[in-house]
Amino acid sequence: MTEEAQRRRRISRGLWLVLIAIVLVLAVLLVPPMISIGRYKSRITQLVSRSLDRPVRLSSVELRLLPRPGFVLADLTVDEDPAFGAEPVLHAGTVTAAIQFSSLWRGHLAISRISVDEASLNLVRNADGRWNLDPLFRNAAVTRGNAAGQGSAPPLPYLEATDSRINIKDGLEKLPYSLVNADISFWQPNPGEWRLRLRGQPARTDVNLDLADTGIVRLEASVSRAPQLRQMPLHVEMEWKEAQLGQLSRLILGSDPGWRGDLTGNMQLDGTAESAQIKTRLTATGVHRAEFAPAEALDFDANCSFVYHYSGRAVENLACDSPLGDGHIKLTADQPSSSSGKVAVQLDRIPLSASLGVLRTLRNGIGDDLDARGTISGQLAYDSAAENVPPAPAHPHAARTQLAKNPSPPLGPLQGSLTIDGFRLSGNGLQQPIQFAKLSLAPAPFAPGQPAALTATLPLPAGGVTPLTIGVRMALSGYHITARGPAALPRLRELAHAAGVADTSAIDTLGGDPALLDLNVDGPWLPPPAASANLVASVVPPLTISAVPADDTNADQLSGTVTLHNANWKSDALVNHVEISEAELHLGNGSIVWDPVAFTYGPVKGTASLQIALACETGSQCPPQLDLHFDSLDTTELQQALLGARQQGTVLSDLIARFSLASASPWPRFNGTIKADSLVLGPVTLDNASIVFRVLPTGAEFTSIDAGLLDGHLHLTGTLAGGDKPAYAFEGKFEKVSGPALCNLLVMRCTAGTVDGNGKLALSGFAAKDLASSATGTLHFDWLHGAIVADSASQLPKTLARFDHWSADAAIDHGAVTLQQNQVQQAGHKSTVAATITFADPPKVTFTSPKPLQTAKR
């Protein structure tokens, strides 16, 4: 071909291209206005409805030729089958339906692709266990199968959704779980076959999640036609990777229990939903608690395979295996029905360090420096059919008859054993490691109605005459541990610290002979996230306060008794040690109770009981209750015991100073009572004294003070406020006080009469001189049928030698009690008395002559 011919051919080809471009431009500009889109709206709605086998509604349709011919549907709603609810199965604001452009000229509309963006899809499971996709697949398969020979069934368009959301519903209830930022593709490559491709991020609507750490779910699936969804042949490959364990636990559990690590899961399913062969793989790296990073992270790579039957909820040929440390775990199981099954697990030299890592990851409160050595090996098998063995007869004769027929006891559902070789637990405050050459865990004796469990009994040297006997019982639901026997207090502190006791500072202040333990600890392996895994301090001495949340009902529970002999205890609130000859601690029932406690504090001897509630109702307070009893209590001896010999001139100064807000060690809040058969207050002795009080960090309230006073009775209430100087305030009354006893207190002689009265008193300070000089108040008394004997040195008014009634008001101020308005009545004569009582040791009473008020008429 000549050069001229080639040039003409290129020009001709260029002209054709220009012509085609002009035609396309004209088509884009002229064709859409010439086509009536309104008449296609109902046809498009019917076509989409027939394709999805659901009622479809849309608000408007517009034609779009570029980048490909299609319709843009606004506000598309695909209605739900009424059997699954009223909420639409799919809703999208904008939908693009791609069509074959040539079909418009032939008058036949064919949709090849439906694309949606930011759509919302609901997956619903009803009470019968059926999903809302079941009738969609089944009806679509039947429709296309019946129309295959007629050529009238519309082909399933290629369905795709981007940046959409998949919600999950259980009946009418929308669950908090969903898949967001989802990209979905669904198409039919061949008649009777469907393909699904999915990618999205798991989310939960009722908690705050970092979606970047919940992982990415990818799924590829193919489904073939069958009468029912559960009978359709399936092939599914799913991967869930880049999931952070903390966010994954928040996704599943609703809260973060403090687990960290990266997880990747894979699943492959072949068969049908009715009977599927499933293979899974779960890989975890860097698993640990958020509080610390262990030296060896808990990593595993578990592979499982099994056959699942949907109708019977049955699992066949389950086999899982995973390396763990230098050991290996293998699990096999068969569950032919939901009420029966067999499980077997084989452990081959699993390191104890790995087992401790599992427990440390599941539970908080286990020290990061606690180290475990040794290996676990053995095999266990569980058969639920063995649980149906009838219970033993209650009648002794029937029991002997059954034993004669079957001399060997029935085997329980759990068989096998585990052996721990070279057990050694060290670190976390243990001065001496806990170690055993060999331990065996065997099934507990079979008891119908009781869960299957592994048990072990081991002696643990703890500094006592005989070792502690430790009993261990482990079931799937949790554990039970018993401790019986003596334990030296230093060793007890080590064991408490190693066991994760929340606060051992109280135990650190105890000394003396070994304690006798009779304790039980129960708890779940995995407590609820809100529950604290720390045990409450087990031997909390008096005035040490520990508490757990009121709703923490599933945390570890400690119960039993601890008995102390010849112990001593030191508190920051006291100057000296408290010697405890005997004390018994009762744990359980939501409280800690010390009762009785026989103690000696210097010259003061008494008994005490202390009750600490471990749970309070929300918004309420339940301070500890301390009750003290003394046969005889001398406040002078008490003062010396509390303050020590270094402050003989003060009255409870160091003790009261702790009520100051500036005090470094204020008293804890508690309620209490003090009872004393004899309470010596200097020259006054109170009989059967009873004091009810409340101690606050900045003071105290005396609800009632009742006692026998000078053959009468005294009742007071009062307060104590802290500050630079302690301030006291009392108000009360006294009744039928003996006149002779009162005069003896005032260094006077009286021969008759009883005194009633009431008053108020306020005073402040530490030393007796300060208290006397600061005292202010009022006093009123009535003295009936009194007689005061005058000595040679006194200036006793004659009217007081014998009187019928002496009624007086007095003012307390400037270190003295001064009589004010008063009246002395003797027969028909009335007079007044001027008198002053000066605070001193002994008190000084000064009288002046009485003044007659009036003479009785004859």
Instruction: Yes or no: say if 643 and 650 are a contact pair by the CB < 8 Å rule.
Output: yes
Q: Identify which of 713, 698, 523, 551 has the alpha carbon closest to the alpha carbon of residue 619.
A: 551
**Given this model, what pLDDT does residue 103 score?**
53
How far apart CA 528 and CA 19 sit, in angstroms, is 75
**Cβ neighbours of 151 (radius 10 Å):** 6
Q: Between β-strands 193-204 and 604-613, what pairing exists: parallel, antiparallel or unpaired? A: unpaired
**Residue 678 pairs with which residues in a beta bridge?**
632, 687
User: For residue 695, which of 655, 730, 734 has the smallest C-alpha distance?
Assistant: 655
State the amino acid at position 54 in one-letter form: R
* 56-57/70-78 β-pairing: antiparallel
| Amino acid occupying residue 809 | D
Q: Within 10 Å of residue 103's Cβ, how many Cβ atoms? A: 14
- Is the Cβ–Cβ distance between 243 and 281 less than 8 Å? no
CA 748: distance to chain centroid? 67
Instruction: Say how many C-beta atoms besides its own lie within 10 A of residue 89's C-beta.
Output: 22
Helix (H) or strand (E) holding 191: none
Question: Would you state the pLDDT for residue 217?
Answer: 93
Residue 857's H or E segment, with its range, is none
Distance of CA 444 to the CA centre of its chain: 30
CB 535 within 8 A of CB 502: yes
Residues 6+ apart with CB under 8 A from 4: none
The pTM of this model reads 0.69
Residue with tokens 């698993």: 287
Q: Residues near 328 by Cβ (< 8 Å), separated by ≥ 6?
A: 321, 322, 347, 348, 349, 350
| Sites in the chain below the pLDDT cut of 70 | 1-2, 5-40, 51, 65-69, 100-110, 135-156, 292-297, 364-365, 387-411, 500-507, 527-555, 572-575, 618-619, 636, 639-667, 767, 792-794, 849-858
Which of 69, 279, 48 lies closest to 158 in space, CA to CA? 48
Cα dihedral value 512, 513, 518, 519, nearest 10: 30
> Which parts of 634-780 fold into alpha helices (H)?
635-643, 653-657, 739-745, 768-774
Strands in 227-297 per DSSP E:
233-244, 259-272, 275-289
Backbone φ, ψ for residue 152 (5° rounding)? -105, -5
Q: How far apart are CA 117 and CA 159, in angstroms?
A: 11
Query: What secondary structure letter does DSSP report for 410?
Result: P
Helix axes 133-146, 38-52, angle to 10 degrees: 100
Neighbours of 411 (CB within 10 A): 12
Measured from the Cβ of residue 379, the count of other Cβ atoms closer than 10 Å reads 14
CB-based contacts of 161: which residues, under 8 Å, 6+ apart?
92, 115, 116, 117, 119, 121, 182, 183, 184
